[in-house]
A and B are shown apart, each in its own frame.
Chain A
C-alpha cells in the first residue's frame, strides 16, 4: 500500500516519504511507551509473580482448561450446525412467494435478532432446559445466529444479478430449481466471508454459557481465578492473559479454515465459468 496510489493518497514523493517516516518513528515510540507502561504497571502490582502463575503448572489445571476448550467447541459445533440449517430455512421463508410465510419468517428473524442472547439463554435454561444447560446454550445460539445467517443468505440471493434468474426461468426451470441450482450457490459463494464472520461470533458467544453453569472455557478461567489465592489477591489478570489468546487462536483458526474453503470454492467456480470481464 505504501508505494501504490490509494483512494486517499497519491504515490508519496520524497517529502511525503520523510513525513511518513517521521510519523512512523513517532507512532512506534508511542506504542512502545504504551506497552512498556502496561508492562510496568502489571509488574509493579505483582502480576508477574510466580505465585500468580503457579496454578498453570498443575496438570489438573491444564486438564481443566482443555476440558473447557472441548466444551466450548462442542457447544460451538452444535450451534453452528443449527444456525446454518435454521438460516437456510428462514431465508427460504423470507424469499417465499406466499405472503404469510414471508411475514412469519420476517417476524421470527426480527425477533431473534433483537433479543439479547444472554436473556434468551437464561430464559431457555430456567423454563425448558434446566437439567441440560448445553441445550439451552445451543438453542439460544442457534436461534439468534440462524436469524442473522438467514439475513446474510437472503441479501446474497438478492444480490445475484437479475439476468441469472431470468435466464433460468427462460430455460423453463421451476422456482425451487432456480433457487437451488442457480441463486443459492452463487449467493453462498458471495456471502461466505459474512457467514464465516457470523460463525466466529457464534464461537465467541459460547462464553455466555458461564451464566447457566455450562462448563466452557471462560467458566474454567473463572474457577481458576477464584480458587487460587495469593498474597497479591486472585490471579484474574494471568487468567485473562491465558484464556484470551486461546479464544483468539480458535477464532483465527476458524477464519483461516473458512478462507481455505473459500479459495477452493473460487478455483472451482473459475474452472466452470470464465471470470466476468
Chain B
C-alpha cells in the first residue's frame, strides 16, 4: 500500500506575482482594485469589491452559480481572470435590477417561486437575461436545454421554466 502514499511534491515556493491596479467596468461604474493576475473575476467581485450577489458554487465552471454578463454574454466568472476583463462591460445581479425596480425576470422569479434557498438564483437570472438577448429559447424545450448550465439543487426547475417562459412570451407579444 505504501506506493499510494502522497508523493513528494517537490514544489518549492515560487516568486509570487505582484498585485497591480486594475479598473473594471461593472454595472456601468468604473471600479479600481489591486489584484494579482491569478485572481478570478468571481473572487474579484466577491472578495475585493463586495459584490457578493454573484455566487461561488464549485469554482470549476460546473454549476453556473457565478454566471455574470460580459458585454451582454453570459460567462462563468470563476473561469475568467479579472485582468482579462479590463476593457469589458460587466453586469452582475446587482446591475440587473434593484429592490425598487426589479427586472421583469426578477419579478417573475418571485411570482413563480422559482427558487428556494436562493443561492443559484442570481446565476439563473443572469443566465436567463442573456438567453433573452441571444434570440434563442423561444419554446419550453429550448429553454430547458439552454438553461441547463445552471444547476439548482433545490430542484426549482419547473418554476424557473415558468418564470422564464412568462418573460419570453411577454417579449413575443
Q: Indicate, yes or no, whether A interacts with B.
A: no
